[in-house]
Homo-oligomer: A and B are copies of this chain.
Amino acid sequence: MDQPRALLFDVFGTVVDWRTSVAREVAPFLAEHAPGTDPADFAHAWRRRYQPAMEAVRSGARPFTRLDILHRENLEAVLRDHGIDPAALAEPVLDHLNKAWHRLDPWPDSVEGLRRLKTRFIIAPLSNGNIALMLNVAKRAGLPWDAILGAEVARAYKPSPAAYLNTAEILGLAPAECMLVAAHNNDLAAARRVGFRTAFVPRPREYGPHQDKDFGPDQDWDFVAADFPALADALGCGPA
Protein backbone atom coordinates (compact mmCIF):
# COMPACT_ATOMS: atom_id res chain seq x y z
CA MET A 1 0.00 0.00 0.00
CA ASP A 2 1.25 3.43 -0.98
CA GLN A 3 1.44 5.26 2.32
CA PRO A 4 3.05 8.47 3.55
CA ARG A 5 6.26 8.34 5.56
CA ALA A 6 5.54 11.21 7.95
CA LEU A 7 2.35 12.45 9.58
CA LEU A 8 2.54 16.15 10.43
CA PHE A 9 -0.08 17.47 12.81
CA ASP A 10 -1.78 20.75 13.28
CA VAL A 11 -1.88 21.09 17.06
CA PHE A 12 -4.08 23.97 18.33
CA GLY A 13 -7.57 22.53 18.03
CA THR A 14 -6.49 19.30 16.32
CA VAL A 15 -4.37 17.67 19.04
CA VAL A 16 -5.14 19.90 22.03
CA ASP A 17 -8.19 21.74 23.33
CA TRP A 18 -6.72 25.24 23.61
CA ARG A 19 -10.01 26.95 24.46
CA THR A 20 -10.95 25.20 27.67
CA SER A 21 -7.28 24.88 28.69
CA VAL A 22 -6.52 28.59 28.33
CA ALA A 23 -9.82 29.44 30.04
CA ARG A 24 -8.86 27.24 33.00
CA GLU A 25 -5.38 28.79 33.18
CA VAL A 26 -6.56 32.42 33.14
CA ALA A 27 -9.59 31.96 35.41
CA PRO A 28 -7.86 32.65 38.77
CA PHE A 29 -6.25 35.83 37.40
CA LEU A 30 -9.53 37.09 35.95
CA ALA A 31 -11.42 36.37 39.17
CA GLU A 32 -9.02 38.73 40.91
CA HIS A 33 -8.45 41.43 38.27
CA ALA A 34 -11.61 41.42 36.13
CA PRO A 35 -14.41 39.78 38.10
CA GLY A 36 -17.35 38.83 35.94
CA THR A 37 -15.22 38.18 32.83
CA ASP A 38 -15.94 34.76 31.36
CA PRO A 39 -12.59 32.94 31.04
CA ALA A 40 -13.67 31.20 27.83
CA ASP A 41 -14.57 34.56 26.30
CA PHE A 42 -11.16 35.90 27.32
CA ALA A 43 -9.47 32.88 25.70
CA HIS A 44 -11.49 33.44 22.56
CA ALA A 45 -10.60 37.16 22.46
CA TRP A 46 -6.91 36.28 22.84
CA ARG A 47 -7.15 33.72 20.05
CA ARG A 48 -8.90 36.20 17.71
CA ARG A 49 -5.67 38.20 17.58
CA TYR A 50 -3.65 35.13 16.51
CA GLN A 51 -4.13 35.22 12.72
CA PRO A 52 -3.66 39.02 12.35
CA ALA A 53 -0.40 38.84 14.34
CA MET A 54 0.99 36.07 12.11
CA GLU A 55 -0.23 37.88 9.00
CA ALA A 56 2.35 40.62 9.65
CA VAL A 57 5.03 37.93 9.35
CA ARG A 58 3.43 36.16 6.39
CA SER A 59 3.12 39.42 4.46
CA GLY A 60 6.78 40.24 5.02
CA ALA A 61 5.99 43.35 7.06
CA ARG A 62 7.75 41.80 10.04
CA PRO A 63 10.65 39.32 10.27
CA PHE A 64 9.86 35.86 11.60
CA THR A 65 8.91 36.20 15.25
CA ARG A 66 8.12 33.17 17.37
CA LEU A 67 4.61 32.64 18.66
CA ASP A 68 5.45 33.11 22.36
CA ILE A 69 6.27 36.74 21.51
CA LEU A 70 3.13 37.25 19.42
CA HIS A 71 1.04 35.67 22.18
CA ARG A 72 2.56 38.08 24.70
CA GLU A 73 1.82 41.13 22.57
CA ASN A 74 -1.72 39.89 22.03
CA LEU A 75 -2.16 39.18 25.73
CA GLU A 76 -1.25 42.75 26.63
CA ALA A 77 -3.74 44.07 24.07
CA VAL A 78 -6.53 41.81 25.37
CA LEU A 79 -5.79 42.82 28.95
CA ARG A 80 -6.15 46.48 27.96
CA ASP A 81 -9.43 45.63 26.20
CA HIS A 82 -10.60 44.29 29.56
CA GLY A 83 -9.57 47.45 31.42
CA ILE A 84 -6.38 45.93 32.86
CA ASP A 85 -3.08 47.81 32.46
CA PRO A 86 -0.40 45.18 31.78
CA ALA A 87 2.33 47.64 32.83
CA ALA A 88 0.87 47.52 36.34
CA LEU A 89 1.34 43.73 36.57
CA ALA A 90 4.51 41.97 37.75
CA GLU A 91 6.53 40.30 34.98
CA PRO A 92 6.17 36.79 36.47
CA VAL A 93 2.37 37.24 36.47
CA LEU A 94 2.35 38.20 32.79
CA ASP A 95 4.77 35.44 31.89
CA HIS A 96 2.72 32.83 33.73
CA LEU A 97 -0.44 34.01 31.94
CA ASN A 98 1.33 33.92 28.58
CA LYS A 99 2.57 30.40 29.25
CA ALA A 100 -1.04 29.25 29.56
CA TRP A 101 -0.39 28.15 25.95
CA HIS A 102 2.33 25.80 27.26
CA ARG A 103 -0.22 24.02 29.47
CA LEU A 104 -2.83 22.84 26.99
CA ASP A 105 -4.63 19.54 27.48
CA PRO A 106 -4.94 17.03 24.64
CA TRP A 107 -8.32 15.84 23.40
CA PRO A 108 -9.12 12.53 25.16
CA ASP A 109 -8.17 10.38 22.14
CA SER A 110 -4.99 12.21 21.11
CA VAL A 111 -2.31 10.39 23.12
CA GLU A 112 -3.59 6.89 22.38
CA GLY A 113 -3.97 7.70 18.69
CA LEU A 114 -0.51 9.23 18.39
CA ARG A 115 1.09 6.25 20.14
CA ARG A 116 -0.46 3.92 17.59
CA LEU A 117 0.37 6.13 14.61
CA LYS A 118 3.99 6.38 15.82
CA THR A 119 4.45 2.63 15.33
CA ARG A 120 4.26 3.02 11.53
CA PHE A 121 5.01 6.68 10.78
CA ILE A 122 7.24 9.57 11.74
CA ILE A 123 4.93 11.82 13.77
CA ALA A 124 5.65 15.48 14.45
CA PRO A 125 3.73 18.70 15.00
CA LEU A 126 3.53 21.11 12.09
CA SER A 127 2.08 23.90 14.18
CA ASN A 128 2.50 27.64 14.23
CA GLY A 129 3.45 27.24 17.90
CA ASN A 130 7.15 27.67 18.64
CA ILE A 131 9.47 24.87 19.70
CA ALA A 132 9.46 25.56 23.46
CA LEU A 133 5.67 25.86 23.51
CA MET A 134 5.20 22.58 21.60
CA LEU A 135 7.80 20.80 23.70
CA ASN A 136 6.30 21.94 27.00
CA VAL A 137 2.78 20.98 25.89
CA ALA A 138 4.05 17.57 24.77
CA LYS A 139 6.07 16.90 27.91
CA ARG A 140 3.11 17.78 30.16
CA ALA A 141 0.51 15.93 28.10
CA GLY A 142 2.60 12.91 27.09
CA LEU A 143 2.42 13.53 23.33
CA PRO A 144 4.99 11.07 21.90
CA TRP A 145 6.38 13.16 19.01
CA ASP A 146 9.43 11.92 17.11
CA ALA A 147 10.55 15.54 16.59
CA ILE A 148 9.25 19.06 17.14
CA LEU A 149 8.83 20.65 13.74
CA GLY A 150 6.64 23.57 12.66
CA ALA A 151 6.78 27.29 12.00
CA GLU A 152 9.88 28.08 14.06
CA VAL A 153 11.91 25.33 12.38
CA ALA A 154 10.57 26.16 8.90
CA ARG A 155 10.81 29.93 9.56
CA ALA A 156 7.36 30.43 8.04
CA TYR A 157 3.80 30.48 9.36
CA LYS A 158 1.07 28.30 7.93
CA PRO A 159 -0.68 28.56 5.56
CA SER A 160 2.33 29.99 3.70
CA PRO A 161 3.60 27.30 1.29
CA ALA A 162 7.08 27.50 2.82
CA ALA A 163 5.77 26.22 6.16
CA TYR A 164 4.86 22.90 4.55
CA LEU A 165 7.57 22.69 1.89
CA ASN A 166 10.44 23.54 4.23
CA THR A 167 9.19 20.92 6.67
CA ALA A 168 9.23 18.21 4.00
CA GLU A 169 12.69 19.30 2.84
CA ILE A 170 14.05 19.24 6.41
CA LEU A 171 12.72 15.68 6.76
CA GLY A 172 14.41 14.71 3.50
CA LEU A 173 11.02 13.73 2.08
CA ALA A 174 9.00 14.65 -0.99
CA PRO A 175 5.78 16.54 -0.20
CA ALA A 176 3.76 13.48 -1.29
CA GLU A 177 5.52 11.45 1.42
CA CYS A 178 4.08 13.83 4.04
CA MET A 179 0.48 13.94 5.27
CA LEU A 180 -0.99 16.83 7.21
CA VAL A 181 -3.52 15.85 9.88
CA ALA A 182 -5.75 18.78 10.81
CA ALA A 183 -9.20 19.78 12.02
CA HIS A 184 -9.16 22.83 9.74
CA ASN A 185 -10.08 22.69 6.07
CA ASN A 186 -8.04 25.79 5.17
CA ASP A 187 -4.85 24.26 6.59
CA LEU A 188 -5.44 21.05 4.62
CA ALA A 189 -6.17 23.05 1.45
CA ALA A 190 -2.83 24.87 1.74
CA ALA A 191 -1.01 21.58 2.37
CA ARG A 192 -2.69 19.91 -0.60
CA ARG A 193 -1.75 22.81 -2.90
CA VAL A 194 1.95 22.06 -2.30
CA GLY A 195 1.57 18.30 -2.72
CA PHE A 196 1.01 17.01 0.82
CA ARG A 197 -1.50 14.29 1.49
CA THR A 198 -4.32 15.24 3.79
CA ALA A 199 -6.30 13.79 6.69
CA PHE A 200 -9.24 15.58 8.28
CA VAL A 201 -10.21 14.88 11.88
CA PRO A 202 -13.16 17.05 12.94
CA ARG A 203 -13.01 18.76 16.31
CA PRO A 204 -16.51 20.29 16.42
CA ARG A 205 -16.11 21.56 20.00
CA GLU A 206 -12.87 23.48 19.41
CA TYR A 207 -14.54 26.91 19.44
CA GLY A 208 -17.44 25.97 21.72
CA PRO A 209 -20.45 28.22 21.04
CA HIS A 210 -18.33 30.26 18.60
CA GLN A 211 -17.70 27.35 16.20
CA ASP A 212 -19.05 28.25 12.77
CA LYS A 213 -17.02 26.01 10.42
CA ASP A 214 -14.95 22.82 10.12
CA PHE A 215 -17.79 20.58 11.24
CA GLY A 216 -17.01 18.37 8.27
CA PRO A 217 -14.72 18.06 5.25
CA ASP A 218 -14.92 20.74 2.54
CA GLN A 219 -12.95 18.64 0.03
CA ASP A 220 -12.31 14.99 -0.68
CA TRP A 221 -9.38 14.78 1.71
CA ASP A 222 -7.34 11.57 1.45
CA PHE A 223 -8.60 10.46 4.84
CA VAL A 224 -11.49 11.59 7.02
CA ALA A 225 -11.55 10.03 10.48
CA ALA A 226 -13.67 10.70 13.56
CA ASP A 227 -10.65 10.81 15.87
CA PHE A 228 -6.99 9.76 16.03
CA PRO A 229 -7.61 6.07 16.84
CA ALA A 230 -9.98 5.93 13.86
CA LEU A 231 -7.20 7.44 11.70
CA ALA A 232 -4.81 4.79 13.08
CA ASP A 233 -7.32 2.11 12.08
CA ALA A 234 -7.67 3.59 8.60
CA LEU A 235 -3.87 3.63 8.20
CA GLY A 236 -3.50 0.02 9.32
CA CYS A 237 -1.85 0.69 12.69
CA GLY A 238 -2.21 -1.95 15.36
CA PRO A 239 -1.94 -1.31 19.09
CA ALA A 240 0.91 0.83 20.42
Contacts and interface: CB of A to CB of B under 8 A. Distances in A.
A172 B71 CA distance: 14
Contacts of A179: none
Contact of A152 (B131, B135, B170): B170
A172 B68 contact: yes
A139 B122 contact: yes
Contacts of A34: none
B122 A147 contact: no
Interface string A130-147: 111011001100000111
A153 B171 contact: no
Question: What's the number of copies of this chain in the assembled complex?
Answer: 2
Nearest to A172: B132
Interface band, chain A: 10 to 19
A52 B147 CA distance: 28
A81 B130 CA distance: 44
A181 interface: no
A167 to B, nearest CB: 10
A148 interface: yes
A122 B135 contact: yes
B153 A146 contact: no
A170 B132 contact: yes
B68 A135 contact: no
A132 B171 CA distance: 5
Contact of A148 (B139, B147, B172): B147
A142 to B, nearest CB: 11
Interface in A116-162: 122, 130-132, 134-135, 138-139, 145-149, 152-153
Q: Which 9 A-B pairs have the closest CB atoms?
A: A132-B172, A147-B148, A135-B147, A131-B170, A132-B171, A135-B146, A139-B146, A153-B153, A131-B147
14 contacts: A68-B172, A130-B170, A131-B153, A131-B170, A132-B172, A135-B146, A135-B147, A139-B146, A145-B147, A146-B148, A147-B147, A148-B148, A152-B170, A153-B153
Given A130-B170, A131-B147, A147-B148, 5 more contacts: A131-B171, A135-B146, A135-B147, A146-B148, A152-B170
